[in-house]
Structure 1
Amino acid sequence: MTVHAISAPAVPSLTPPPGCPMHAAATGAVNALDLVDPGLYSDGDPHPVWRRLRSLDVLTRHHIDEDRWFWNVVRFEDADRVLRDTATFTSERGTMLDLLGLDDPASGKQLAATDPPRHTEMQARLKKALAIKSVDRQREMIRDLVVPLLEPLGDGGTFDFAQAMLAMPMSVTGTMMGLPTGDWAWLNRLTTVCIAADDPEYQEPDGRNATLKAAHRDLFAYFQDLVRFRRNHLGDDLLSVLISTRFEGRHMAPDEIVANCYSLLLGANVTTPHAPNFVMAEFIGSGVLQDWAAHPEVDATALEESLRWASPVNHFLRYATHDVEIRNTLIKAGDPVVVWLGSANRDDLVFAGGSEFDIRRKPNKHLAFGIGPHYCIGHSVARVTLKTMFHELFTRFEDFQPAGRPERLRSNFVSGYKHIPITARPARGGNGRARSSV
């Protein structure tokens, strides 16, 4: 993995809790980088500071400004505890750093911003529709959507692998939601804007806040119009499932349906592309791709390792509902905590050689999809899509070569790539080596 240099921010951003006996060396290393800065994830490397934070026996506090701060949760054990315990750490005040200090307008309406028991009842029908048995019946549909995205790789020219991967979940989820094909590219860009408004490639001239506001306005207006139309034109798709869902003795309200349409689309577009993007960007030419391609029996473990390694969702925000102690640190009621999934997923106490990429790693109970009640509802779709993509990639192509410098997405919420120029050639024998069926 290439590590790019990054300069320190103008003001220290990470400070130890009051009275913490942190060593001076640790303090200096911690204060050197700003974990909130999107540039750290596009041009730098957060893992050295995460490693230092994991070595401490206390939590550290990150100050954004005089009014906003949060506790850093970086160890797997602590991350697992925070994400599972929704009674102590609520999602209903917001789940992303962008909302720190604000009230989430989707609270109690959107699954991601609703805690049990309401969350459990609200998600029941959608969870059933996205269960592995339901997704299994759509494997051929998923394959038919993935293959055309990969086919240009065989033309002999430079192929932007990341752009193909960014389009992939939109195709699959768009089909499953019954969204018009002609809207997919536009919706894909808008959802990317929502998680990467700091990226110059996605930012409008009026700046970050205006870009984000416009994207949210367009997405919500789109789904409001679509829901209004589809109420009288129900079908066999996820949008129809949401419209016809009953909980608490009633149907979902229009604003609840719209909020969850947004969440479904955002969740798919955030998680799915970046596991293969990390594999291609960081291991092309290293022998990893050849090893994986030659041994289809490792498909399952290699896929999970790519999810652990990429940790596409970089963080989750929670708020303490009452005083609680974690890692010798008192967290008071109302305090915000940020779980850094990319750090937890490389914790050496859980993953032997956590900083090493091992396609045969087992067990591998990573947190890439979260854990607990808010475990990603679309994880089965993502896994089937990714398994299909890797199978088709390695069956159809070989001799993968870099054709330019990969470019990271500028975002502190999503850890991913936006451009990965590569070349490849069709695998020998037309259909490539024999691989077991997905």
Structure 2
Amino acid sequence: MTIPSDIAQTIVDPRAYADGKRVDDAFAWLRREAPLDRAQPEGFDPFWVVTRHADILEVERQNELFHNGDRSTVLTTIDADRKVREMMGGSPHLVRSLVQMDNPDHMAYRRLTQGSFVPQNLRALESRIREIAKGFVDRMASHGGQCDFARDVAFLYPLHVIMEVIGVPESDEPRMLKLTQELFGSADPDLNRTGEEIQTTNAGVDTIQSVVMDFMLYFNAITEDRRANPRADLASVIANGKIDGQPLGHLEAMSYYIIAATAGHDTTSSTVSGALWALAENPEQFAKLKANPALIPGLIEESIRWVTPVKHFMRTATADAEVAGRKMAKGDWLMLSYPSGNRDEAVFADPFKFDVERTPNKHVAFGYGAHVCLGQHLARMEMRILWEELFARLESVELDGTPRNMSASFVCGPKSVPIRFKMH
């Protein structure tokens, strides 16, 4: 059977992810009625929609059988795919980061920066991150009991942390935030370059390409500087890194910067703002955290599950395969739907409840297997420190208006979370 066209259209519609409920309902229907089936929304090649937690793990576990890089790693229309391939000499990717790579390249490129993101090396950053977090809590307090938590705190704090790790000067942070939002918010009229609402999963490829070019121009200059004057930062690691004795290719180096400079803060920002939104709507959960800060790790995992900032990645079958009893052919395209996996009733009791004491919490928001998120330990550490500093001073919080999510079907989170609060 093919997934009904209204459901297929919903799961590719950026506005359905902004709505939240629309896409949740569509995935709940799929888990129940067609947990692994083919969708063919208008304008797209057909693809399998993987909605259950167990099936997502099954695909992620088999990196040789299900490749990241053979076709677009992000759901894309037939027209957009054709255009990208024309621009990129046949490649389906505008960038070539870890996300678009398979082995042996994936492992070699990942190894280059892996040391920067392992817990024992991150500990050296703890006191500096705490200093940054305290600064943002002070900044929030200075708003006098009212602010937009997404714009005034959540967007800026992880941005400052990762830019310091990369080695981008603070004066360039607003530019990096704007470019990130233009890239991930390419379908959202408030965030993209055109100011227009885009109704498919692809804003104009030209617009996205222009954002990528701006990133590349910026990081090209940083590369030249770090080759001449290396420092103890991630930019120097990338600029001077070697794979098999050779410097990184231009596209690969630029892509490495771009993924660090975008995914390195945007997903954490979304999770933090989504967490406070959920706490404002669930005062009993806030009260639990105030009474017992030892629950903060539970808050972190639950908010990552709850928000699931990365909505999907695509995989391509490298041979005929079978998953959950469904036979797929070599070359078939699969959409791993992380928000669906994170609401799977078979794994999470009462999945639509925000519960900071949820245990176990085996969410798939960071992916799984070889492609598990490189920055996951840094993200958790940033969140832990911010919540420790904020809960020490925050006495109450409630919504002060209607929060809004961005329109995006790939990476999506809150764009506005207006709150009223009391702090000491």
Identity %: 27
Match of 2:289 in 1: 292
2:348 counterpart (339, 351, 358): 351
Q: Which runs of 5+ in 1 are unaligned?
A: 1-15, 428-438
TM-score, normalization by structure 2: 0.89
Match of 2:370 in 1: 373
Cα distance in 1 between the residues matched to 2:35 and 2:388:
43
> Does the 8 Å CA contact 2:44/2:76 hold for their aligned counterparts?
no
> Is structure 2 residue 51 aligned with structure 1 residue 90?
no
Cα distance in 2 between the residues matched to 1:28 and 1:249:
50
> Is structure 2 residue 227 aligned with structure 1 residue 243?
no
2:406 counterpart (406, 409, 415): 409
Match of 1:311 in 2: 308
Q: Deviations over 1:57-76 (max 9, x none)?
A: 65222223355221100000
Cα distance in 1 between the residues matched to 2:35 and 2:413:
29
> Is structure 2 residue 418 aligned with structure 1 residue 393?
no
Paired amino acid for 1:173: I
Cα distance in 2 between the residues matched to 1:67 and 1:306:
32
1:176 counterpart (165, 186, 209): 165
> Is structure 2 residue 119 aligned with structure 1 residue 123?
no
Match of 2:150 in 1: 162
Cα distance in 1 between the residues matched to 2:34 and 2:340:
15
Cα distance in 1 between the residues matched to 2:251 and 2:157:
27
Deviation at 1:44, TM superposition (A): 4.6
Match of 2:187 in 1: 198
- Aligned runs of 1:35-434 on 2, under 5 Å? 35-45=11-21, 46-56=23-33, 59-65=36-42, 68-92=45-69, 93-98=71-76, 101=81, 103-105=91-93, 109-155=96-142, 156-163=144-151, 164-205=153-194, 208-209=203-204, 210-287=206-283, 288-427=285-424
> Does the 8 Å CA contact 1:29/1:49 hold for their aligned counterparts?
no
Q: Deviations over 1:346-386 (max 9, x none)?
A: 11212222222221122212111111111111111101001
Paired amino acid for 2:359: K
Deviation at 1:53, TM superposition (A): 0.9
> Does the 8 Å CA contact 1:154/1:397 hold for their aligned counterparts?
no
Aligned pairs, how many? Answer: 402
Cα distance in 2 between the residues matched to 1:166 and 1:415:
13
DSSP 3-state at the match of 2:159: helix
Q: Which runs of 5+ in 2 are unaligned?
A: 86-90, 197-202
Root-mean-square deviation over aligned CA pairs: 2.1
Deviation at 1:166, TM superposition (A): 1.3
> Does the 8 Å CA contact 2:398/2:420 hold for their aligned counterparts?
yes
Deviation at 1:174, TM superposition (A): 0.2
> Does the 8 Å CA contact 2:112/2:237 hold for their aligned counterparts?
yes
TM-score, normalization by structure 1: 0.87
Cα distance in 1 between the residues matched to 2:235 and 2:377:
18
